[in-house]
Structure 1
């Protein structure tokens, strides 16, 4: 509809791009080059972030860390992260460590090295979770503030949505008229 040529997509959604490509190619074969053939753009660097229980993070699984929640709620979610039963003082591996997987998605290289050492030195899971909470709270605080600012200004959000919808409607109207014309249905007046 909007003739996108490149679509950012997660690895688990590639099949949707493939279906879209198939439909666009079939239509173009019959009616001429109307639709762009989209390419999925997959960021190889960004892996699927694990949820609190180790499965893919998903709102439907109820295992998310809400990015824009307040600090207290963030701490509550971080403390729910599933860990093994190793005691404080026992060395812990960063391999297959859910907490570490989340930590390294937000941490600098030096912070990652430090957390790996802490795990090897037997940090308690509670202390490791506190370190993760502090990192997340620091990393997300400016985004949380901006989110709160935007959410408190409903007239601005309404205007942005109205303007975007109007621009999208104009493009869609033009493209639908072109599509209807080539398949012999007339235009949308």
Structure 2
């Protein structure tokens, strides 16, 4: 009988993490960690997934350390979770090959990332498969291996990753039907409060819109960003709707409930946008002051990160190796 309910979270090292990554993925994932001994929490750096985009070895190493340092600086405790690099767990890639043989091509044809790229190429009137590598095409299979190898029960995701969890579930069901009950059927959990984080222009925070802010930017850059955030032309004395304000929406992610209630009341009474921005900047800056220093410490001393990841590699493989042997035995190659 299964002893633990397993939660799994992975982030690709394709850049420096921004505020949207923190509020939409990192913060909700960290909040789900509990002291419950019946829960197992797994966090990994999805460096092989990043290879679809990053073709510079130095840049990939830099981003890998940066993402690891981000998790650690924001409170991830490697003594309470399993924390590793995807590339350190060879069983993931062996399972990925097995799962590929259980996955209909039509399922991959429907994957959002692949369909989006093909659609973009068709609009440009070029070959539909231009710049489509097999890593992109089979991305959902590798992600399924990430999830299923650890018999994951729950995967916290953003909206754009929901389909991948559903695909992993489909693949698991197909395997279980063919070879007998083997994999847990994963479910996704979506944090609705932080699913959409707006950037400085009021649109979803995204690198493609150039409206993001790196989590550990300097105080000066943070202030410039906050003061550039889009507002309407209402007067300082005009009552304002906090629930339709991107400033208030971001403030809620960093403030206490009492502080949120306070600012909400000031919105209703009338408050100038300049004052709201001052309050927001001070709140975020205070909140990130200590993590900012911690992040710098980790990126300056990457050997500390290596030690944590080595510990996680050992713990992850202790789970992965025997389970992969069980899987191989079921399919007739073990």
TM-score normalised by L of structure 2: 0.50
Choose which of 246, 255, 275 in structure 2 pairs with 1:107: 255
Q: In the alignment, is the contact (CA less than 8 A) between 1:65 and 1:78 conserved in 2?
A: no
> Number of residue pairs matched?
186
**Alpha-carbon deviation of 1:185?**
2.6
Return the offset for 1:156.
Answer: 0.8
Shift of 1:59: 3.7
Give the Cα separation in 1 of the matches to 2:304 and 2:195: 34
- Equivalent positions of 1:37-186 (< 5 A) are 37-43=185-191, 46-186=194-334
TM-score w.r.t. the length of structure 1 is: 0.83
More strand by share: 2
Q: Which has the larger radius of gyration?
A: 1
| 1:12-51 matches, cutoff 5 A | 12-43=160-191, 46-51=194-199
**CA distance in structure 2 between the aligned counterparts of 1:83 and 1:67, rounded to whole angstroms:** 22
How many angstroms does 1:46 deviate by? 4.4
Task: Mark the CA change 1:93 to 1:41 in structure 2 (over 3 Å): closer, same or farther.
Answer: closer
1:124 Cα deviation from its structure 2 partner:
2.3
Task: Give unmatched runs, 5+ long, in structure 2.
Answer: 1-148
Task: Flag the 1:43–1:91 CA change in 2: closer, same or farther, 3 A.
Answer: closer
Residue 119 to residue 43, structure 1, CA distance change in 2 (3 Å):
closer
Query: Aligned-pair distance for 1:41?
Result: 3.2
Please report the RMSD computed on the Cα atoms of aligned residues, expressed in angstroms. Answer: 2.3
Task: Flag the structure with more relative contact order, 1 or 2, with Cα contacts below 8 A and sequence separation at least 6.
Answer: 2
